[in-house]
Amino acid sequence: MSDIIILAIESSCDDTGAAVVANGNILANVVASQSIHEKWGGVVPELASRAHMQHIVPVVHEALQIAEIDKKNLSAVALTAGPGLIGSLLVGATFAKSFALALDIPLISVNHLQAHVMALLIDEPKPSFPFLCLLVSGGHTQLIVVKAPLEFEIIGQTTDDAAGEAFDKTAKILGLTYPGGPLLDKLAQQGNHTIHKFPKPQIAELDFSFSGFKTSVLYYIEKQKKLNPDFVAENINDLCAAIQYTIVETLTDKVLKAIEQTGITQVAIAGGVAANSGLRLKLQLLSQQKGFDLYIPAFQYCTDNAAMIAITAHYQYMKNDFADQSLAPYPRVSV
């Protein structure tokens, strides 16, 4: 069989990514991030679309160059079809469709959330099937049983905010710059989580809810600021530690519950929040205590990247799962 070489494009939010995968091995993974949104405290969709327009061609060229692949040797072009910001998705999809049309090769339509989970199949060691995956990203929080490559069953999810939003929105309350999650993580590492206490969100079964938690942080800060206007500045590390502790405990409690309910002992995390040091540490500790095997993707495969789109596309290619030129991106969908 000839080589399967795929160019993959990711443009669902504010990162423009291109990757090349050959027979399931990632040869290049290029990401251009957009710092333009920082001053607005969140992603501005129109600015994101424009920045994708600027970045997409150079990013693709760089990926092909790093991979040392001539575009004539590509077997297919893959793209993130959704979920995501529609304007951002359209840039990647239009580019990918044109590229595939010009080269007369097939298109592969990839679900961004499935790709976050499939990132676990990039590097060794890989989990064996079935495995349990906690998908924690900026827009989603789900517990998924992965039965086989591209075979997913959602067994729990958030009813409102995602874990990434809980990090970003509480970080914003503390006055940290967007996206607050990584900065909150850094400060939390220098803090003591026992000084301030926030209630853990209580919700049935394997579901999650973070909007009440965000409100409880807001009320607590407002109350303390009335007593001491410098409260946040004087307590920033301990506040970050308490917030991170509460989110991590909430997530890991449900992971343990899911292990108990399913009997699955191959456990993985995926998505941007999988980069969180507190979550990684707690799960590593629990895996030793409870005897489950833990898998965490490399940092560059946790937040948005095209390598995860590429690996997903590789498996779709093997199943002859191709899209045609009538493909339209979808802003909302689950795994």
Ligand X SMILES: Nc1ncnc2c1ncn2[C@@H]1O[C@H](COP(=O)(O)OP(=O)(O)OP(=O)(O)O)[C@@H](O)[C@H]1O
The C-alpha atoms of residue 72 and residue 103 are separated, in whole angstroms, by 7
CA angle centred on 154, ends 150 and 159, rounded to 5°? 140
Q: Is 14 in the site for Mg ion (CB under 5 A)?
A: no
Give the range of 73-81, 151-159, 298-306, 322-330 binding Mg ion by CB under 5 A: 298-306
Pick between residue 137 and residue 246 the one whose CB is nearest to Mg ion: 137
Which residue, 101 or 298, has its beta carbon nearer to Mg ion? 298
- The sign of the dihedral angle between the CA atoms of 211, 213, 219, 221 is negative
**Contact with ligand X (CB under 6 A): which of 109, 114, 142, 303?**
303
- Residue 212 interacts, among Mg ion, ligand X, none and using kind-specific CB cut-offs from 5 to 8 Å, with none
Contact between 85 and 331 (Cβ < 8 Å) = yes
For ligand X, which residue of 20, 89, 133, 168 counts as binding (CB under 6 A)?
A: 168
Binding status of residue 304 toward ligand X by CB under 6 A: yes
Q: What is the smallest separation between the CB atom of 312 and Mg ion, expressed in angstroms? A: 13
Other beta carbons within 10 angstroms of residue 262's beta carbon come to 15
Is 110 in contact with 305 (CB distance < 8 Å)? no
- Beta strands 76-82 and 107-111: pairing type? parallel
- Tell the smallest beta-carbon distance from residue 212 to Mg ion (Å): 24
CB of 35 to ligand X, least distance (A): 14
* Alpha helix ranges (H) inside 138-230: 163-173, 180-188, 211-227
Q: Write the DSSP assignment of 202-226 as a string of letters.
A: --STT-B--HHHHHHHHHHHHHHHH
Of the candidate residues 82, 87, 92, 271, the single one contacting ligand X (CB under 6 A) = 271
Site for ligand X contains 13 (CB under 6 A): yes
- Binding positions for ligand X, rule: CB under 6 A: 12-13, 83-84, 112, 116, 137-140, 164, 167-168, 179, 181-182, 185, 271-273, 275-276, 303-304
**Applying CB under 5 A, which residues contact Mg ion?**
137, 304
